[in-house]
Amino acid sequence: MTSPAITSTRASWRDHAGSWLPVLATLALLGVGLSSSGYIVTVLGFAAIYGVFSTGLNFFMGYTGQASFGQNAFAALGGYGSAILTAGHGMEPVLALLIATTVSVAIAFAVGYPTLRLRGHYLAMATFALGLITYEITIEWTSLTQGYMGYSGIPPIGLFGYELVTEKQMLVVLVAFALLGVWISNRLRRSRFGRALAAIAGSEPAAAALGVNVAGYKLVAFVIAAAYGSVAGSLFAHFVGFISPEVFGTSMVVLSFTMLYLGGIGTTWGPLVGAVIVSLLPEALRGLKELQDVAYCVILVAILIFAPRGLAGFAPAIKQFFNRGAAAKAE
Amino acid sequence: MADITQLLQSLITGVGVGLIYGLVGIGFCVIYNASGIVNFAQGVFVMLGGMICHALLTRLGLPLVLAAVLAVPIVAGIGMLIETLVVRPMWNRGATMFAIILATLATQIMIERITILTLGDQPRSFPEFTPGGPLKLGDIAVGYQLFWILGCGALMVGLLWLFFTRTRTGRALRACSQNREAAALLGIPVGRMLLVSFALSAALGAVAGILVTPTQVTAFNIGTPFGVNGFIAAIIGGFGSAAGALAGGVLLGVLQAAAIVLFGAGFKNVAALSTLLVVLLLFPSGIFAGFKGFKRA
């Protein structure tokens, strides 16, 4: 079989379809959200927040091929940081978000430096422990976090005294954050930095032999993931107005992994696509009610077994379909 | 201020809990040795052991001995189910280690949710195996259950030793842990060994759960702390030897008990998890592994 020679300029938009189609789809979803009822707006807001979180996780797990089962720790840091600074101390939400993210980045550096020397199941367990430690602290340090009761009265996000009061206004900001996150992810992936990460994912000794500072790049990928996680946590706190330890518990780990694996781990858009689909799932699973968490786990395990590359695994088939259409047109 | 009696008292409690951690740790090692897989759902077997035993006691009105004896094979069956439905398909498709770990973690949450739906979310307990007590040694009280834990722990380790040295299946499992490909070439069904290891490991966890429930409570969510502590025990023991895991468990239990006396109970889990990180970072091949290497040299 021969592939059609592409010489005309018209073919180039098809080549770039992969990069602008998802943007259009996201904006279309935003449009749907803005023209529908409150519930859909909430669901799409969560999708955008989890999209940010999963896109960050993808840096470390997808691009670099490592594993962190404790990224919820940084979402908790971001969420509680924003909550305490704004609701507790009356700080500007944007300033609080920046401070919380800075703190998370600093902690990620300090914690990641020794932890990332570990490999395999030791790395998995150590990162898992980070998440559990944070969870325990949010419960036990009641004077700071209000423990099980959770932190309420968190103001919506805003700037210079202007607050985004309606959920739809917030949705626009959340979608902007998600798109910005994916854009950064896309740019970095195609950079020298992204290629270094890919080299590490392929083979650490080979990457080291090529002069890649393996430990350094791993740490930076981990810190980027932590920054994304922290921002997602802050956005969650402002969007819902209430956080509790359970929000950032172990089920958040499983949920975000489901999104990552469903959309396609290691792809640019996969995490966001997965986040949107998984967030819409409760609608489909509404009849199951209490079995919802069980259903999530079953879906995740099924994906891991039968389609470890997620929806992205179907991309070649779709591309072929498009190409065949183009070839038919050319004839 | 903690006086010496209080400290000794808590150390004795620590030994009991530590033996339980050791049993869970051995469970980790059994599966890891057979397959190289770390089963993050290990703590769930402890939870299921206690919960199912309690359900048999209260719902079917069985005597404690019968309930305990029945609960172990039930949990072993659940372990085999996990192997067949989750781990085996991934193993056969050559899934990455992280994906398998993630799948076992998801399985843990799945089982916890199902436990809430079927057996309830309230903490439960059942009476000690021998009523009466505690035994008074001066000012220190020793509950009778501790002797059960000691006795059953010793019995389990003895049985395991016999199993691994005297039976064909046990020897085959050890062959797998040394070299899976060579074992397969010798005609050992390596795949079936994975099933055996899950059953064995689940049974160990169930025994641990049944033994520990009278001294505290069991609930759907006790799996994670026991799993993590068992993992720490296994790491301290060098992730491979049963005796090492048991010793690691006792060490961990005593350390935690001392920490509770000195710093209060609130941050117990934080202390345990921090121990995990310290052990991982400073002794990545276990504390006792160092001694073993020394002896060989």
- Scan residues 75-134 of B and list those with Cβ closer than 8 Å to A: 86, 89-90, 93, 95-99, 101-103, 105-107, 109-110, 113-114, 116-117
Of B95, B98, B270, the CB nearest to A133: B270
B38–A121: do the CB atoms touch at under 8 Å?
A: yes
Q: What is the dihedral of CA A229, A234, A240, A245, to 10 degrees?
A: 70
Can you list the pairs that A304-307 forms with residues at least 24 positions away whose Cβ atoms lie under 8 Å? A304/A261, A304/B90, A304/B95, A304/B99, A304/B102, A304/B103, A304/B106, A305/B86, A305/B89, A305/B90, A305/B93, A305/B95, A305/B103
Query: What pLDDT, in 10s, does the model give residues B166-183?
Result: 888 888 888 887 788 888
Question: Measured in Å, how far apart are chain A's first and last C-alpha atoms?
Answer: 15
| Whole-number Å distance between alpha carbons of A176 and A273 | 15
Query: What pLDDT, in 10s, does the model give residues B229-268?
Result: 898 888 888 777 778 888 889 888 888 888 787 777 667 7
Q: Is the ipTM of this complex over 0.90?
A: no
Count CB-CB contacts under 10 A for residue A303.
Answer: 22
Residue-level pLDDT at B286 = 62
A168 burial type by CB count under 10 A (0-12 exposed, 13-18 middle, 19+ buried): middle
Query: What pLDDT, in 10s, does the model give residues B279-294?
Result: 788 876 666 654 443 3
Of B249, B207, B199, nearest to B50 (Cα)? B207
- All residues of chain A having their beta carbon less than 8 Å from the beta carbon of residue B228 are 125, 128-129, 132
Query: What pLDDT, in 10s, does the model give residues B95-152?
Result: 888 888 889 988 998 998 888 888 887 887 777 777 766 777 777 777 788 888 888 8
Please state, in angstroms and as integers, the Cα–Cα distance from residue A305 to each residue in A196, A292, A298, B214, following that order: 29, 20, 11, 39
- All residues of chain B having their beta carbon less than 8 Å from the beta carbon of residue A115 are 277, 281
CB A310 within 8 A of CB A268: no
Residue A229 φ then ψ, to 5°: -60, -40
Q: Does B287 reach chain A within 8 Å, measured CB to CB?
A: no
| Whole-number Å distance between alpha carbons of A158 and A173 | 10
Count CB-CB contacts under 10 A for residue B284.
Answer: 14
Query: For chain B, which residues make up each domain, given as ranges?
Result: 4-296
| Whole-number Å distance between alpha carbons of A58 and B175 | 38
Of B77, B233, B246, B75, nearest to B149 (Cα)? B246
| H or E element that contains A151 | strand A151-152
Query: Which residues of chain A are at the B interface, by a Cβ-Cβ cutoff of 8 Å?
Result: 61, 67, 69, 114-115, 117-118, 120-122, 124-126, 128-130, 132-133, 136-137, 140, 250-251, 253-254, 257, 261, 290-291, 293-294, 296-298, 300-301, 304-305, 308
- Scan residues 214-253 of B and list those with Cβ closer than 8 Å to A: 224, 228, 231, 235
Hey, what CATH class is A37-330 in?
A: mainly alpha
**What are the residue ranges in chain A where pLDDT is below 70?**
1-19, 159-162, 283, 286-289, 322, 324-331
Query: What pLDDT, in 10s, does the model give residues A229-259?
Result: 999 999 999 888 888 888 888 888 888 888 8
- Architecture, CATH, for domain B4-296: Orthogonal Bundle (1.10)
Query: What pLDDT, in 10s, does the model give residues B60-100?
Result: 888 888 888 899 999 999 999 999 999 989 888 888 888 88
A13 burial type by CB count under 10 A (0-12 exposed, 13-18 middle, 19+ buried): exposed
| Whole-number Å distance between alpha carbons of B126 and A78 | 42
| Whole-number Å distance between alpha carbons of A281 and A284 | 5
Q: Does B265 reach chain A within 8 Å, measured CB to CB?
A: no
How far is C-alpha A265 from the geometric centre of its chain's CA atoms?
Answer: 11
How high does pLDDT run on average in chain A? 83
- All residues of chain B having their beta carbon less than 8 Å from the beta carbon of residue A129 are 228, 273, 276-277
Query: For chain A, which residues make up each domain, given as ranges?
Result: 37-330
